[in-house]
Amino acid sequence: MRRFVAILILAISRIGHRVLSVHGRFRNRNFETATLKWWLQPIPDVQFTKFPPIDDFMNGPIAWYHGRFIHQRRVEVLSRHLADLIVPDASVLDVGCGDGLLSARLQQLRPDLSVSGIDVLVRPDAKIEVVEFDGKTIPIAKDGVDVVLMVDVLHHTDVPGDMLKEAARVSKKQVIIKDHYLQGFAAHQTLSMMDNVGNTRHGVEIPCNYQTPEQWTQLYQASGLQVAEMRNQLGLYLPPLNWFFERSLHFIASLEERTKS
Ligand SMILES: C[S@@+](CC[C@H](N)C(=O)[O-])C[C@H]1O[C@@H](n2cnc3c(N)ncnc32)[C@H](O)[C@@H]1O
């Protein structure tokens, strides 16, 4: 029975995957080539130590739905929060900017800002200019920018505290992070599922380095930062998705140097 269910899910996901990608909705050539190769490979013998059809399903129709609806709403909601939080006339460095959509929208909402991006993985279709860096040392002098943004980036790094210290070093006025709280029912499973759906197809590392609220506080302190403003209810999802994926799993923290108060 389990084998039958597994093969059924795999077959459905492949059909969905094929229909969506063949009709070009992903608009990403690399992804479509990968999709085609994936479609053509033989159906594997299902091993029950792992449950591969779930991964396939995540990267098919669910990935399409995520890209088409969830990500667009996320960009709009987060860019409005950020536009509201960032100090006037600032130079902003978006560390781990990904596809750059968020920064591009932020720049539209706040023309007084000057936004640039760096990332370990430069996407060919990025909406802003992105400079590649090693993911450890931000290639900017101390106090070299007014504001550092890190939106859903720190849980992708091997040592979040080190990257936060780097952000504190190069920023003159503000460090703003959007990240996850490891708290509540099945938080790790929920977050890692969201991470996989949103990132696997872009080749982003997913170490699932989620922190509890207490661990975040320790990381701020170790970086010489303190919370200037905290937002916990962001409105990233509409009901009923917010019952599962929003809860108290997301936050935006606007941080400043501890000596500033
Ligand atoms: C979930 S995506 C977020 C992208 C973008 N900030 C956004 O909100 O749309 C995570 C990003 O972090 C980047 N990343 C992973 N490890 C990193 C590191 N050590 N330093 C900087 N960026 C990193 C990935 O390449 C990816 O673009």
Residue list, ligand 1 pocket, CB within 6 Å? 95-98, 102, 119-121, 135, 151-153, 156-157, 163, 198-199, 204-205
Q: Is 62 a residue whose pLDDT tops 60?
A: yes
Q: Which residue in the block uniquely carries the two structure tokens 């667009």? A: 72
Q: What does CATH list as the number for 69-260?
A: 3.40.50.150
Q: Is 204 a residue whose pLDDT tops 80?
A: yes
Residues 155-181 have a mean pLDDT of 98
| Alpha carbon distance 201, 203 (integer Å) | 6
Residue to probe by mutation, ligand 1, list 153, 158, 194, 205, most atoms within 8 Å of CB: 153
The model's confidence at residue 32, banded by pLDDT at 50, 70 and 90, is: very low
pLDDT (0 to 100) of residue 26? 39
What tokens does 222 get?
Answer: 């170790």
b/e 173-201 (16+ beta carbons within 10 angstroms → b)? bbbbbbbbbbeeeebeebbebbbbbbbeb
| CA-153 nearest atom, ligand 1 | 12
pLDDT (0 to 100) of residue 261? 54
Domain borders along the chain are 2-59, 69-260
Nearest protein Cα to ligand 1, atom 8: 151
pLDDT (0 to 100) of residue 16? 55
What is the pTM for the complete model shown?
Answer: 0.78
Residues 94 and 103 sit within 8 Å (Cβ to Cβ): yes
Continuous segment of H or E residues that includes residue 145: strand 145-151
* C-alpha 153 – ligand 1 centre gap (Å): 4
Residue to probe by mutation, ligand 1, list 204, 206, 208, 234, most atoms within 8 Å of CB: 204
204: nearest Cα among 91, 143, 120, 124: 120
The model's confidence at residue 201, banded by pLDDT at 50, 70 and 90, is: confident
* C-alpha 42 – ligand 1 centre gap (Å): 33
The model's confidence at residue 245, banded by pLDDT at 50, 70 and 90, is: very high
* C-alpha 98 – ligand 1 centre gap (Å): 6
230: nearest Cα among 256, 207, 212: 256
